[in-house]
Structure 1
Amino acid sequence: MNNSFKNKIIGLCVVLILLTAVMSLASFWWSTSQFNQAQVQRKIQVAQNVYQQYLKARERLLVTAATVLTADFGFKQAVATRDAQTIGSVLLNHSRRIDADLMLLLDVKGQLISANVEGLDFPSGTQSWMTALQDHNDHSAFVVLNEQLYQVIILPVRAPRTIAYSVIGFQVNEAVTDDLKELTGMETSFVGQADNLKASSLPALPPGEDLFSYLENQKTQRWLGEYPVYQSAEVALPSLASNAISLVLSADLTTQYQEFDKMVLTIVLLSGVTILLGFITSGVLAKNLTTPLSQLTELAKRFATGDYSAKLKETRPAREICQLVDAFNDMGENIQEREEKIRFQASHDSLTGFFNRNAALDKLHGMLKSGAEYYFIAIDIKGLRHINDKLGPRVGDDCIKVVAKRIASINSAGVGLNIRLGGDEFLVAHQAKATSESQQSVQGIVEYAEKLHDALCQPYVVQGLDIALHFSVGVVHYPKQAHTPEDVVRRALIAVDTAAHDGHDVYYYQSGEDEAHLERLQIIDELKHAIQEDDGQLFMTYQPKLNMKTEQIDKVESLIRWQRKSGEWVSPELFIDLAEQSGLIVDLTQWVVKTVVAQVARWLHQGENIKAAINVSAQDIADKHFLPHLEQLLGDMKVKPELITIELTERDMIENEEKGILALQALKKLGVQVSLDDYGVGQTSLGRLKMLPIDELKMDKVFILKLAQSEKDQHIVRSTITLGHQLGFSVVAEGVEDKASLDLLDAMQCDYAQGYYLSKPLKAADFDSWLRSYNEVG
């Protein structure tokens, strides 16, 4: 075993050293290659800058010479008179003065007048050739004449109008490329697109071989493959479109290859020496490790059996080994402590130390098997969210801690089972007293629950603040009202939710509430699917509104109805309330708005100009998508905004007044009518009423149902109609049940009447039939 471990250590050390050497070599190879590549690119860039400066200097000389020549008066006179001898003499002398290789004089049509080069084969189409040179705007261009490459400049000869053009140029030949090679350290070649290589510092190319093919074919043998000798960059030069000229700069990579190969060989040699030294030192290290490790292995086996008293046989073990043994002992103790802590955290709430919900269910399973009777009390902290919002989450957490501490102190004498269900909800268990009369047992839990509630409501000091907390308490009995731990938790929460919702301090679960709760959940789920599937379960009905002045039906109120797939009807008050509680009200309202706007569009198509009112809630007007959705529907279905009325109740406005007013102003800006529904039974003051951006007051039916029999109702309705008209509102009375009430409303100058006396809410098809009959009778 020792030999095997020793061999593994030696092999590991050698492999690590070898791997390090290989990685170092690869890293060096890659970084050096990148560096060399960057160096070549910089060298090419520098060469481009040098060549540009070189050619610019020649260009300035050409421009100066051409300017002097074209400005010479005697030359202009000779050109004007076509004095060939004088022109030729001037061109010759001027070319010698600046060492120009090419001096041409062209007339305005591009015909050659004179040249300093004999036997010049001037190209055809000189007019376009000359025009192309002029396009370079006083800059030089590269052209090919008589198979020779020239850098030329063209300037006009004016006297004062242009009478000729002077062309001056330098020949670009091997002397130029050699100068550029001397300056840049790179091979330089000038290539014409039409007639290939014109001048180059490279050795003579084989006949007929292209420059680029030649450069690509130059290879050098190194290591295990061939590498290119040259790296080239092509630079376009200003030239004629008919024969584009470019400069090719070629860097010779041979020297870099040689230097790089020398460095690689040096690194390989050093790596070999390092591997040899590593092999020797790893053998020594392995020998020093295997003996104490074998003893430590035996010690670890004894530790595994639980024998922590075992000691090393050597009288003087290495200090590190002793430290490792101590670490083993400490590790065992620490693991045991951490396991206990993890088990506690898995079953307890970290903030309060109470059992958490999952652990509570397991705990309850064991408790309920005993057959004893218990009362389970759910506790909810009211308004904790406001404390978090106003004082911060740390204060909120401390409130939960002090509440939990008080619950524990109150419930310590009983079962002592304290549970934090989550958030601001707790659950405690109280064992029912063994008694022959159940009434005494009930009386006992009532006293205990009230005592618990009163004790919890006593003031708290949190972070130096005196905080008064309020609580809702719900109680459920086991086994009369719950049979399983899940039933206990769920029904206790139902009881505490009922207490919070209905304003009770303590509420006792009533049998059947869980089923009603589950039924509400099922209704919510079915409502969600009914909205999404739009399968006909939900539909709209329309109750007509009578225009008291014209006695015509030009308005309706849209009312939603729901018949479940089972055929059972669901009260609108029930499912709309559940929709608001579950957050489905926004989706439901969007469905209603889409359906009603589509119906108004159909009426318009039928020639009926009928306005439709839609009831919305506070959640709807707070939804940022409500207005854009309505506006898009009106646009898509080509319905005028004034044909839609949005009805909100006083309660919705009071709960969200600031946001509600902003939403109503946006609706008014869109052109939609706004109606305040159920007016008279809410809390809208006259001061608030004048601030609301509304068009219509809709009196609650409580004042209209017995209007003919109640003089007080008549006074209220008359004053409301007068007030509404004085504020500029239209007034609608709903709940008209008889003709006497309708006549009274007419006498009071009410604008619209609505109620069963006229018609109950009807489906769209039934409403159309009713309207035709009404109009025929009218």
Structure 2
Amino acid sequence: MRLGITKLRTQILLFALALVLITTLVIQAISWWSANTFNQQQIAQNIITAENILRQYIRSTENNLVNSARVLTADFGFKQAVSSGDKDTIASVLANHGARINADLMLLTDLSGNLISSSRSGSNDREILSQIVQDLLQKPATAHIVMLDNRIYELILLPVMAPRTIAYSLVGFELSQTTLFELKDLTGLDLTLMNKDIPVHSTLEGFQNNERFVDEINAAHSRWLWLDRPTFVSSEFMPTSSSENPVSFLFTADLRSIYKQYDDMAYQIIFIVFLVILFATLISTVIAHTLTTPLAKLVKTANQFAKGHYDAWSEPGQASSEIRDLASALQTMGQEVKQREQVVTWQARHDALTGLLNIHTMRSTLSTIFHDYGQCVVIAMYIQNFRQINDRLGPEIADACLSALANRLNEFETEAAKTNARLEGIEFLSVIQLTPDQNPKQIVEALLATLHQPFQIGNISLSLHFYAGVCCFPEHSQDSKVMLRRVRIAADHARRNRQTIHIYEAGEDEQHLEELMLIESLQALLKQPNNIELFLNFQPKVELHNDKMETVEILIRWHRPGIGRIAPDKFIGLAEQSGLIVKLTHWVINETFKQLRIWRDQGLLLNAAINVSAEDLATQIFVII
């Protein structure tokens, strides 16, 4: 008893502590989620604002470059110098004009992109310059961010017309480290100029300008307790640039200041939680002590209920009104659970409509039944005309008919024991114990004679007809699963062949499995667009009045590798039974159309006759075809 009280007290204490901790964690998680969501939205908005500022900056400098370049290309003296190839005059004009507009780069190239003159001394790689000219020509008078001679420029290109294009003028401003710091002041974010994922200029400190620059930024983390948090959030901005030597901007937001604010708040919450835990420990200990004695008795009673002893009951003794109400409710619950358990157990084992055993119960108990009965006959029955009853008289009459059938099965008199079950839908099963002098077939005939008598459903008299499959235990098998499968195979054989009674014969089990295999193979073939097993034969039909062949009859054939030809009446019959006949007919129609088209292209016009089933005629798709 002492151990039980201590355990309960501990549970109450742990519950109080867990409640405090869970509440704290939820508050902490909500706070973190809210702050994190707000910060992510704020960072995303800052990045969008920074990109807009950068676009505005590029657009502003682009306008200055375009206006300056138009003044240059419109200068008559400059055009004359370009036309005559006066390099000194060209260089002088480029230098003077560049000085007036504070341009960092003034270039003049021929139509092939070869450099004629430059305001800046340098290598000016010809291939790169030629590629840049080609990219600029795609969008003339539009600023491109390009890299030339290890410097990054904002360049525009305008043609020099005299009156046709004789050269190209390129004007640009350099984007330097100083430019990035100015943009950082405007955007509030760190910026990095990247060329093929390698930084050229950056406002970030502490990182090497190499190919691992981006990986190092993404790998940077700030640790708090056991959590690793990313230090930076980056977003790449792709301006209009060279296709072969692209340049991009990398915006980077430093999250450490945000983390510091959150960490300070988290430490304050942890301190408050510690105080709350101390208070909760004291209160929960007192409450646990007052509850343990009466609850221990209720726990003992509940344990008895859990074992199924619903009549076991002991009063909780001196207790509060709430505990007494709980005890009364527990007692009532035990009685109700007992009743519901009986109902659920019965429903799990029986068919809801007829009250007979269901298929799951039969599968689990058939071995026991065979052991108890010894020699017995197993009968599986299908109702022949149930669909007509259901369609014409409605489901209520049909259900009443099934209930009446179940009653008649139970009322059928036998000399020994019997067990009845409803397997599925209109399939019923009877297991009848045989006495030494009884004939199984006579028992089956007597049962069917009883079932063939009219059923009175209200004011309606109905007669049911059956297909019955029969197996004998232990003659046909001593395994319950095999017996159940074989008796259903026998019933299915009786239904297909319109027999009232069919006794299972050796080999039908294997034949059934073979038919299932053929159905599965046929279904798989119909899904293949170009199968080689199914093919058509074309039987000519000659008109007697003119001795001409104008029509062919379409005959489907099936050749299975390793087996040979499958008889048409066999696989077509299986297709009708399994519901594949419509798909098979569509396959035949499609293949026939293909062959008629081939013949028509060869100048041979023939009609085709295709055999169809009644199920084909009932489908809407066939009517449309």
TM-score tier after normalising by the smaller chain length: 0.5 to 0.7
> Could you give the per-residue CA deviations for residues 43-65 of structure 1, whole angstroms, max 9, x where no partner exists?
33432332132112211321232
2:73 aligned partner, one-letter code: T
1:452 equivalenced with 2:454 (yes/no): no
Provide the rounded CA distance (Å) in 1 between the counterparts of 2:477 and 2:65: 109
Judged with a 3 Å threshold, the aligned counterparts in structure 2 of structure 1 residues 44 and 12 are, in CA distance, closer, same or farther, namely same
Q: Deviations over 1:180-226 (max 9, x none)?
A: 112211233445679974x55567x89x9769769959989764699
Alignment pair present for 1:52 and 2:55: yes
The whole-number CA distance in structure 2 between the counterparts of 1:209 and 1:659 is 67
Distance 1:224 1:446 in 2: 80
In the aligned structure 2, how far is the partner of 1:262 from the partner of 1:394? 72
Q: Evaluate the alpha carbon distance shift between residue 670 and residue 104 of structure 1 in structure 2; reply closer, same or farther with a 3 A threshold.
A: closer
| 171-180 or 380-389: bigger deviation | 380-389
Query: In the alignment, which residue of structure 1 is the partner of 2:135?
Result: 135
TM-score by length of 2: 0.64
Corresponding residue to 1:267 among 262, 269, 272: 269
Distance 1:333 1:86 in 2: 112
User: Once the two structures are superposed, what CA deviation does each residue of 1:291-319 show, in whole Å capped at 9, x if it has no partner?
Assistant: 432454576699998875754443xx323
- 1:81 Cα deviation after fit: 5.0
Amino acid aligned to 2:465: F
Q: What are structure 2's unaligned runs of at least 5 residues? A: 519-555, 597-607, 612-625
Aligned AA (2:508): L
CA contact (8 A) 1:143 1:149 kept: yes
Measured in 2, the distance between the counterparts of 1:272 and 1:239 equals 58
Q: Map 1:117-128; keep pairs closer than 5 Å.
A: 117=119, 120-123=120-123, 126=126
1:153 and 2:156 equivalent? Answer: yes
Of 186, 191, 196, 2:189 maps to 186
The answer to whether 1:321 aligns with 2:323 is: yes
Secondary structure, aligned partner of 2:170: strand
Say which is worse superposed, 74-83 or 276-285, in terms of deviation.
74-83
Q: 1:662 to 1:302 in 2, by over 3 A?
A: closer
In the alignment, is the contact (CA less than 8 A) between 1:236 and 1:246 conserved in 2? Answer: yes
Q: Which residue of 2 aligns with 1:12?
A: 15
Q: Is the 8 A contact 2:65 2:156 kept in 1?
A: yes
Paired residues of 2:489 and 2:508 also in contact (CA < 8 A) = no
CA deviations over 1:493-512 (Å, ceiling 9, x no partner): 9999999889898x8xxxxx
Letter in structure 2 aligned against 1:620: I
Aligned to 1:471: 465
Residue in 2 that maps onto 1:382: 384
Task: Using the TM superposition, give the Cα deviation of residue 159 of structure 1 relative to its aligned residue in structure 2, in angstroms.
Answer: 0.9
Point out the structure with max Rg over C-alpha.
1
1:55-76, Cα deviation, whole Å (9 max, x unpaired):
1221132123212331344542
Q: CA deviation at 1:259?
A: 1.6
Q: How many residues align?
A: 542
- After superposition, what is the alpha-carbon deviation per residue over 1:552-607, rounded to whole angstroms, capped at 9, x for unaligned? xxxxxxxxxxxxxxxxxxxxxxxxxxxxxxxxxx99x75599636xxxxxxxxxxx
Label 1:518 to 1:37 Cα distance change in 2 as closer, same or farther (>3 A): same
Q: Distance in 2 between matches of 1:495 and 1:108?
A: 92
Higher relative CO (Cα under 8 Å, sequence separation at least 6) belongs to: 2
**Are the counterparts in 2 of residues 157 and 166 from structure 1 also a CA contact under 8 Å?**
yes
SS at match of 2:505: helix
SS in 2 for 1:165: strand
Amino acid at match of 1:164: A
Tell me the equivalent position of 1:285. Answer: 287
> What do residues 628-663 of structure 1 show as CA deviations (whole Å, max 9, x unaligned)?
9xxxxxxxxxxxxxxxxxxxxxxxxxxx9x999989
Q: Which residue of 2 aligns with 1:595?
A: 564
Aligned counterpart in structure 1 of residue 166 of structure 2, from 157, 163, 168: 163
Is the 8 Å Cα contact of residues 122 and 145 (structure 1) preserved in structure 2? no
CA contact (8 A) 1:76 1:157 kept: yes
Instruction: Give the equivalent residue in structure 2 for 1:250.
Output: 252
The answer on whether the counterparts of 2:8 and 2:292 sit within 8 Å (CA) in structure 1 is: yes
CA distance in 1, matches of 2:64, 2:573: 81
Choose which of 495, 511, 528 in structure 2 pairs with 1:524.
Answer: 511
The CA distance in 1 between the partners of 2:280 and 2:33, in whole Å, is 26
SS at match of 1:136: helix
Give the SS at the match of 2:191.
strand
Change (3 A) 1:277 1:451: same
| Whole-angstrom distance in 2 between the partners of 1:502 and 1:245 | 81
**Distance of 1:425 and 1:363 partners within structure 2:** 17
Q: Distance in 2 between matches of 1:147 and 1:530?
A: 73
Q: Per the alignment, do residues 269 and 163 of structure 1 end up closer, same or farther by CA in structure 2, a change over 3 Å counting?
A: same
Letter in 1 for 2:61: R
Amino acid at match of 1:51: L
Shift of 1:333: 2.5
Structure 2 letter corresponding to 1:595 = G
Which stretches in structure 1 are left out of the alignment for 5+ residues? 433-437, 508-512, 532-585, 597-613, 629-655, 673-690, 695-778
Displacement after TM superposition at 1:25 (Å): 3.6
SS at structure 2 position matched to 1:55: helix
How far the C-alpha of 1:262 sits from its partner, in A, is 1.9
Question: What is aligned with 1:337?
Answer: 339
Opposite residue 505 of structure 2, the aligned amino acid is L
| CA contact 1:453–1:473 (8 Å) conserved in 2 | no
Task: Give the drift of 1:248.
Answer: 3.9
**Whole-Å separation in 1 of the counterparts to 2:412 and 2:98:** 117
2:420 aligns with: 419
Structure 1 residues 296 and 50: CA distance shift in structure 2, 3 A = same
Which residue of structure 2 aligns with residue 177 of structure 1?
180
Specify the code of the residue in structure 2 equivalent to 1:121.
S
Q: SS of the residue aligned with 2:123?
A: coil
Give the secondary structure class of the aligned counterpart of 2:53: helix
- Deviation digits for residues 691-744 of structure 1, max 9, x if unmatched? 9769xxxxxxxxxxxxxxxxxxxxxxxxxxxxxxxxxxxxxxxxxxxxxxxxxx
SS at 1:290's partner residue? helix
User: Residue 405 of structure 2 corresponds to which residue in structure 1?
Assistant: 403
Q: Deviations over 1:252-288 (max 9, x none)?
A: 3332232222222232223223323322331232133
Q: 1:67 to 1:331 in 2, by over 3 A?
A: same
Pair 1:262–1:398, CA change in 2 (3 A):
same
Structure 2 match to 1:68:
71
- Per-residue deviation, 1:290: 1.8
